[in-house]
Every structure is written in structure tokens, then in C-alpha cells.
Amino acid sequence: MIRNFLNSIKNNSLFFKMFLVMVVSIVAVSVLITYTMIRMSERLFIDTFSIANAKVMDQVTTDFEAFSYSLVSVANQVQQSGYVQNYLTSEQSEPIELAKATHRIKLQMDRYLTMINQEGINIVLLGENGRLYSTNYVNWPVSADKLKKDRITLNSYKDPNRILYQYDPKKIDHDINREETIVVSKALVDKSTDHIYGVIYIAIREQDFKQLYARYTGNGNNVLLLNQSGMVVSSSDESIAGQKFHDLLQDVEKMDEYKDHYKQVEVLGENRLLFSTYLPTLDMFLVNLIDRETVTSNLLNSKMIALISAIIVFLALCIVFIISRRLTKSLSSLVRQISNMSQKNFDSYVNESGSYETRQLAKAFNDMLDELHEYVEKLIDTQKKQRNAELEALQQQINPHFLYNTLASVKFMVQNGDREKSAQTINALISLLQNTIGNISETNTVEQELDNVKSYVYINQIRYGDLIKVHYFVSPECLQLELPKLILQPFIENAFFHGFNRKKEGIIQLMILQRDDLLICEINDNGDGMEDKTLDRKSKRQLFSGIGIRNVQERIQLIYGEQYGVDVSSQLGEGTRITIRLPVIKSKENTNL
């Protein structure tokens, strides 16, 4: 069963590939569109929500500013009151006088409380004489000694001209059970002497303070006050009041700097929408953290959207399946016919049936078979002609003048009675002709090519003398490697006839070695040397064969590729170096052996 299924997939691979691509495409597009729609809806909703929330934040800001203004008014009036200054600086020892002074202070404080108009307010005065007055000791029970040493008082002394909002986490007096309190404090300063004679504290329990913004909070909607040190002074979420959030402070400061409407942040491991505004009167940030999931959960019915998308995808896939099957059935049949043809059997033709496209493909395939038959016949004929032409070309490689001059030299030696040297010259010529004309192979072994070079050098030395010496340095392991025929002779010839025009004698060195996967052939001479232009001009003419230096370069690259070839370096008056780079190829005859 599994084998049948695999065969079915193999025979209909095009259909399954098309169907798979369509399935992936449809599902991907559906998911992408659904995701984009949900995100765009959420973004639009959040943008709209931010506009509405900005109005709420403005209202809360207005309430805080009004509350802060009333506190500033009370603090200024207390600082300007002579009764208060006298009460906090004088040392009344008489009980009656102290009672009268306390009564006057009580009347003033009651009037100030009506100006603030906020429940749970407690005004506390602490003088330099150690005297403490509190309008409601129950709301903020503190002792004078502990309060005088607390950071709330010390901060007020450090910055006497500002009204400070500070958070008291019920730590001033551990012996007294108190609730978290927001303390607004200011140092009382004698304007004539700039002497601090006391501190006014306006204390409000944190749970009463949050009533200023509590009506604007709800499930997933948290409002808090964040001071410049990152501490939460007040929060609708009691669990974070008094904690420090430095990352949140940085986010808020960046929003205030760049005037962003909102920002998505992570607070306590939850994704929140952050809205904030700076309250200059409090020198704090009013922060609104909204749970993104809570806000957007009722915006869209994700399950319904997913169900509708799934139904649409299913219907689309059914339609794609039917259409793809109809389109590929006839094409699969054509593929099977082509596959069933035996290898190299070009006499079979396929049936031209099925859809229009399939019929056209079948017709094109049959036409291609006809053209292939014609091409093969032409190719066979062309190869025969090419081989004949190559053979003729090889037979015509020997320059007739070279033969004339060589035979003339032999005749001259015979006439002079030097039969042994003439016989050796004829043997060298015969060997040279056998390896060039008799052997029609495109390549020679290094050993054969070396024999050709030695025969050619011997003939030239007979004709022109032995003032130019030739030394051979050939690595034994290179003797049975292959290289193109007549690849070395043109450079030896060039050194003989163009390298020693000024110098009458010299040395030519032929070195052949294997370096990694390269066969290196190097021809060096200590002759005249030449410039690039001279080398290019002289390389066009060869005395022995029609193969020039440039032809050697083109021939090597044509046979082996552009990474191989000839490098020529020459310096005028010092000599010339030819380096031939060839691949390492072992002789077929040697390999068979």
C-alpha cells in the first residue's frame, strides 16, 4: 500500500508539487491577511483609545494641579503667619500662654483645612523649638524626635524653597502602626533672615490620595505617580506603591522628550500600553498603564475570524485540487510516455492527446526527435570531415623552408665527407617528421615531446653551430604525463632565432616538473631579452611550424580552460623566461599498462 502511494506520488509529482505550493500559498496569504487585519484593527483602536485617554489624563492633571495649588496656598499662608512662627520658635513656659497659642494655631489650621477641601488631610507643624502640632494625629501618628531625623524633614531642609511630595512607607516610627502616607512638606523660612524655623507637613493617606484619580481606573487600567527617582509615590495598584521602576522612568522620560502619545512596554512581566504626562507642580509623572490584552480582548472575536478563514481556505483548496488535477493529468501521462522510452531509442514517438498545452508539448517533442535525427547525422558527418581536416593540418605543419635548409645542410656535409654527422642529422629529421606527421594524436607524452625538442635543437646546432647550448632538466615522474603536441618547440625556436641577435652565444634551459596539480614547463635563456611589443611582433613568425606563441596560449586555454596558459617575462639585456602551466594528466597508454 505504501509502495503504491509512493509510486502515485512519483507519477504525479507535478500535481503534488503544484497542489503543495498552492496549499502553502493560500494558507500563508490567509494567515497573513488575518494577522494584518487584526493588528491594523488593534492599532486603529489603540490610536483612537489614546486620543480618548489623553482627555482623561488632562482631567486628572487638572485635578492634581487644583489640589497642588491649594496646598501651595496653605503652605505660603502658614509661612507668612506670625502666630505660627512665634509658636514654632518661642519657649512659652506658662501653661495658659501655651494653651492660648495652641488654640490660635488650631483655628488657623482648621481654616486651612477647609481651603484644601480633601478628606483625610492632616496638617503637621514641627518647629525648631521641638514643638509638634498635628490637626489629626490618628491619620499620621508621628513623634517629634523621630520626624526631625527622618529623610522627609532632611529633604525639606536641603531644598527649602520647594514643596516636596514624598512617600512615607510607615517607617518613621516603628512603634506606631500607620498606613502608607503621601507627605507634602515645605521648610518654613523667615524671609528677613532666610532662617529655617520649622517645617509644615500636609499628610494624606495614600488610599485617600488615590481618590483623586480612582474614578478613572478599572480592571487592567492602572494609574500611578512616579517621582524623579523612579519611585511609585501613589498607585491604584497597592502592590507596587513605594517600589522603584528605573526602566519605567526611562521610558516615561523618552516619551516626554519625543512627545509620544503612547508606548508599548513590559512591566512586571506583562505587556502594557504606557501613557504619561509630566506634572510640573508636583515634579512627577502621571503614568497610566493599560493591559493590552484586556483592552483588545473584546475588540475582535478571534475564534470566529479563525473559523471563517479556515472555511475559506478549505473551499479554495478544494477548487485548486480539482483544477490542478485536470491540468496535470494529461501532462503526467505525457511524462510517463517519455519516461517509458528506452535509453537512446529515438525512434519512438509520443501520442499527441489531452489538453491543448499537452498536445503542443507532445508535438514539439516529436518534432524535436525529427530534428535530433537530422542533427546526429550532420554531427557524424562533420566529425569525419573535422578529423580529416586535422590530419591534413598536422601534415602541413612543417615549414617547407625548414626542410629545404636542413636537406641543404645534409648535402653540404655529404660533399665534405662528413657522413656520420649527416646520418645523425637525417635520423634527427626523420624522428622529428615521424612525431609530427606520422603521429596524428593531439597530445604527446613529455618524453616524446622532449625527443622532438632534442631533434630540433640538434638540427639547428648542425646548421648554425653550437654557440647556443641547451640544457634539459626534466623530473623523471613527469616523463609519462601528457601535454599538447608541439607545445615546447615554438618557444625553443623563439629563443634560438630571436633571443641571441646581439649576443653570439648563450644558454637555453628547459625545465619540466610537477608542482601540486600543475605540470610546469619553463624555458629560460640568458639572451638579449626584449620588450613586450617586440615579443608580440616576433612571436607571429615561426620557422619550423605554423604554431606561434600566441597560438599556443589560445590552444592551451581552448583544451584545458582559462586557468592554464603561458606566462612570458623578459628584461632587455638579461634574457627571457617562458612558463607554461598545464594540468597533470597521465598518458592513457601508461595508465593501461
Q: Is 513 among the domain residues?
A: yes
Q: Return the exposure string of 88-103: e unless at least 16 CB atoms fall within 10 Å of the residue's CB, then b.
A: bbeebeeeeeeeebee
Q: Is 273 among the domain residues?
A: no
Element (H, E) at 370: helix 356-395
Could you identify the residue written with the cell 627571457? 576
Q: Is 35 among the domain residues?
A: no
The whole-angstrom distance between residue 215's C-alpha and the CA centroid of its chain comes to: 50
DSSP 270: E
Q: Is 91 helix (H, G, I), strand (E, B) or coil?
A: coil
Helical axes 82-89 vs 95-116, angle rounded to 10°: 130
The answer on 567 and 455 residing in a single domain is yes
Give the mean pLDDT per block of 10 residues along the chain (593 residues): 60 70 86 83 78 85 90 92 91 82 90 85 92 88 90 93 85 59 92 93 88 83 90 87 90 88 84 89 89 71 80 86 75 72 66 75 82 82 59 53 74 80 84 72 86 88 86 94 87 86 89 94 90 56 53 79 89 90 83 47
Q: Retrieve residue 338's grid coordinates.
A: 517519455
The answer on 502 and 354 residing in a single domain is no
- The CATH number for 122's domain is 3.30.450.20
Phi, psi of 142 (to 5 degrees): -135, 155
Please tell me the distance from the alpha carbon of residue 81 to that of residue 502, in angstroms, as a whole number. Answer: 123
Are 313 and 31 in contact, with CB atoms under 8 Å apart?
no
Q: Retrieve residue 480's grid coordinates.
A: 609519462
- Residue 7, amino acid: N
What is residue 298's predicted lDDT score, i.e. its pLDDT?
63
Q: Is 573 among the domain residues?
A: yes
The answer on 480 and 505 residing in a single domain is yes
Phi, psi of 421 (to 5 degrees): -70, -35
Q: Retrieve residue 7's grid coordinates.
A: 509510486
- Residue 117, amino acid: N
Range of the domain at 96: 81-209
Q: Is 69 among the domain residues?
A: no
Q: Which of 159, 165, 161, 163 is nearest to 209 (CA)?
A: 165
Please tell me the distance from the alpha carbon of residue 331 to that of residue 127, in angstroms, as a whole number. Answer: 102
Helix ranges, 281-355 (H): 292-296, 302-340
Phi, psi of 118 (to 5 degrees): -145, 135
Q: Is 457 among the domain residues?
A: yes
- The CATH number for 461's domain is 3.30.565.10
Q: Retrieve residue 333's grid coordinates.
A: 501521462
The answer on 353 and 492 residing in a single domain is no
Beta bridge partners of 124: 134, 201
Given the DSSP bridges, would you call strands 468-474 and 506-515 parallel, antiparallel or unpaired? Answer: parallel
The answer on 458 and 568 residing in a single domain is yes
Q: Is 110 helix (H, G, I), strand (E, B) or coil?
A: helix
The answer on 572 and 430 residing in a single domain is yes
Residue finishing a domain among 393, 421, 456: 393
The answer on 507 and 359 residing in a single domain is no
What dihedral do alpha carbons 160, 161, 165, 167 form, nearest 10°?
-10
Residue finishing a domain among 163, 183, 209: 209
The answer on 122 and 98 residing in a single domain is yes
The answer on 351 and 492 residing in a single domain is no
- Other CB atoms within a 10 A radius of the CB of residue 345 amount to 7
Residue finishing a domain among 209, 232, 258: 209
Could you identify the residue written with the cell 485617554? 53
The answer on 582 and 560 residing in a single domain is yes
The answer on 428 and 362 residing in a single domain is no
Beta bridge partners of 204: 121, 182
Q: Which of 452, 533, 459 is nearest to 496 (CA)?
A: 459
The answer on 380 and 421 residing in a single domain is no
Q: Is 453 among the domain residues?
A: yes
What is residue 536's predicted lDDT score, i.e. its pLDDT?
55
- Other CB atoms within a 10 A radius of the CB of residue 443 amount to 17
Name, in order, each residue with C-beta under 8 angstroms of 415's C-beta and a sequence gap of 6 or more.
none
Name, in order, each residue with C-beta under 8 angstroms of 102's C-beta and a sequence gap of 6 or more.
87, 133
- Residue 134, amino acid: S
Q: Is 581 among the domain residues?
A: yes
Number of independent structural domains in the chain = 3
